[in-house]
Chains A and B, each alone.
Chain A
Amino acid sequence: MDVRLTAEDGYSTQRSYSVASAPDGETVELTVQRTDDGEVSPYLTDELTVGDLVELRGPVGGWFVWRPEQKEPVFLLAGGSGLVPLMAMIRMRRAVGSRTPFRLIYSARSPETQLFTSELRRGDPGLDTTYVYTRSTPPQWSRPAGRIDASAISSGGWPPDFEPTCYVCGSTGFVETAAGLLVALGHHPGRIRTERFG
């Protein structure tokens, strides 16, 4: 979704943000990660209040989306704020009452930096979530802190012969690693869709 801001002197700039909500025809939820020296995200997170107007356009693309008519299992791999567009798929699945089995691996720096924590904890029938922590884990966590690897993908995801569609979203480092592991484990590159944040 494109957000355009215009200053009083006519200067205008735009940014693209991922939609976190399932389409309901009325509202749209964007998740904005604040960058301290950013031009737009501090304005959106600190300054913007209810009643202010912004210009929105989109969403455009239609590639990194899940459609309920897809019947194959779905494998979601999220790194950090890369969870956002995958959360939109989980919410879409919930909104239409789909029984398509989903598995999610969510790699976060630490429990404190997790997004959508309580919503994921409540869970959905048919959605299995596995957490990978890269810096610090919750107490008594079975898996030590570390980056996503082949064993995490094998135990938390679908085997390649189930032919899931895989959606991978996160930083470039995360996407390169996770998508590369999926291919190495035998998932067909044509069933792996990727999206990245700078």
Chain B
Amino acid sequence: MSVVSRGFRGRARDALHQLPPGQYETTGFPVLSAGPTPTVPLDEWELTVRTETGAGRRWTWEQLLALPSETPTVDLHCVTKWSKFDTEWQGVSLDVLLQDVESSADYALVHSYGDYTTNIPVEDLLDGKAWIAHRYDGEALPPEHGGPARLLVPHLYFWKSAKWVREIVLMHEEERGFWETVGYHTYGDPWREQRYQGD
């Protein structure tokens, strides 16, 4: 049931792009984060994948950049209602990072520098759906947007695309992350408008 807002007409609709329900388009690039922007020197930066057996893979910054990268152009959908179309990224596909990792785990908990976490099913990280992005719009990814490197999982609400990514822990049981624990949806599909727990 929806209440008609007397006198509200809204803006002309964009026929080229489809917005998920409840979203509006922005051409800016708003910044949201729960705490201060961490500074991570590149010579100390590393990305780790840890499996359910405790085994790990680790990449330094140079090693990450030496991997084959892709340049996805994707739409972003933030749970605070803005969507941004046709954003251009460069990064390493999670298919590349996880291809030699022995694991039968179904869930991942992604950790950031600065202690942010978010949970994602492993299948949502594979098959060309997720990247470790280190460049945005032709430039090094700025710190306030998650640089040196962030997770990019554009088919889910953007809080899943963890800034300042540090470690991906694979596990059999799903463990909720930071926003998921305080009321946001466990999965977060914008097309099904899964904003909050219970949606």
Contacts beyond the supplied A60-B196, A176-B144: 15 A-B pairs with Cβ under 8 Å? A5-B5, A5-B10, A7-B8, A13-B10, A13-B81, A39-B24, A48-B5, A53-B5, A61-B179, A61-B182, A61-B183, A180-B36, A180-B37, A196-B30, A196-B31
Q: Given A8, A48, A63, A172, which contacts B144 in the complex, CB threshold below 8 Å?
A: A172
> Do A189 and B114 touch (CB < 8 A)?
yes
Residues of B within 8 A of A13 (CB): 10, 22, 24, 81
Q: Chain B, interface size: which category? A: 35 or more
Q: Which parts of A11-30 form the interface with B (CB within 8 Å)?
A: 11-16
> Do B114 and A194 touch (CB < 8 A)?
no
- In the complex, the number of residue pairs spanning A and B with C-beta atoms less than 8 Å apart equals 105
B15 at the interface (CB under 8 A from A): no
B44 to chain A, nearest CB (A): 16
Which residues of A come within 8 Å of B, CB atoms? 2, 4-8, 11-16, 39, 43, 47-48, 52-55, 60-64, 172, 175-176, 179-180, 182-183, 189-190, 192-194, 196, 198
A-B contact pairs, 23 of them (CB 8 A): A2-B81, A7-B4, A7-B5, A8-B4, A11-B9, A11-B13, A14-B23, A39-B10, A43-B8, A47-B7, A55-B3, A61-B179, A62-B183, A63-B34, A63-B178, A172-B30, A175-B31, A179-B35, A180-B37, A193-B35, A194-B34, A198-B26, A198-B28
Which residues of B come within 8 Å of A, CB atoms? 2-11, 13, 22-24, 26, 28, 30-38, 80-82, 114-115, 144, 178-179, 182-184, 195-196
Residues of A within 8 A of B6 (CB): 52-53
> Do A190 and B35 touch (CB < 8 A)?
yes
> Do A43 and B36 touch (CB < 8 A)?
no
> Do A176 and B37 touch (CB < 8 A)?
yes
Residues of B within 8 A of A52 (CB): 5-6
| A192–B6 alpha-carbon span in the complex (Å) | 42
Q: Given B7, B22, B114, B144, which contacts A43 in the complex, CB threshold below 8 Å?
A: B7
Q: Given B11, B115, B179, B196, which contacts A39 in the complex, CB threshold below 8 Å?
A: B11
Tell me the nearest residue of chain B to A51, going by C-beta: B6
B161 to chain A, nearest CB (A): 17
> Do B183 and A60 touch (CB < 8 A)?
yes
